[in-house]
Amino acid sequence: MLWSDPENEPPEELRETQQMLRRLGFLMALAMVLAMLVIGLT
């Protein structure tokens, strides 16, 4: 968001989608780390 943008909250569904994507990204990063550990141990 630009500093000049009005301070209005995004719609509820957009906020939920962003939250889901953030969670998905976190899980993907965690899965990558676990996969690297498993590959490194074998």
- Number of structural domains the chain divides into: 1
The pLDDT score that the predictor gives to residue 2 is 61
Q: Which domain holds residue 25?
A: 12-42
Predicted confidence (pLDDT) per residue in 1-42, tens digit: 566 666 777 789 999 999 999 999 999 999 999 999 999 987
Whether 32 maps to a domain, the answer reads yes
- Examine residue 7 and state whether it is found in any structural domain, yes or no: no
What pLDDT is stored for residue 8 in this prediction? 73
Half-sphere exposure (Cβ direction) of 37: Cα atoms closer than 13 Å? 6
The C-alpha atoms of residue 7 and residue 32 are separated, in whole angstroms, by 36
Residue 29 counted as domain residue: yes
Residue-level pLDDT at 23: 97
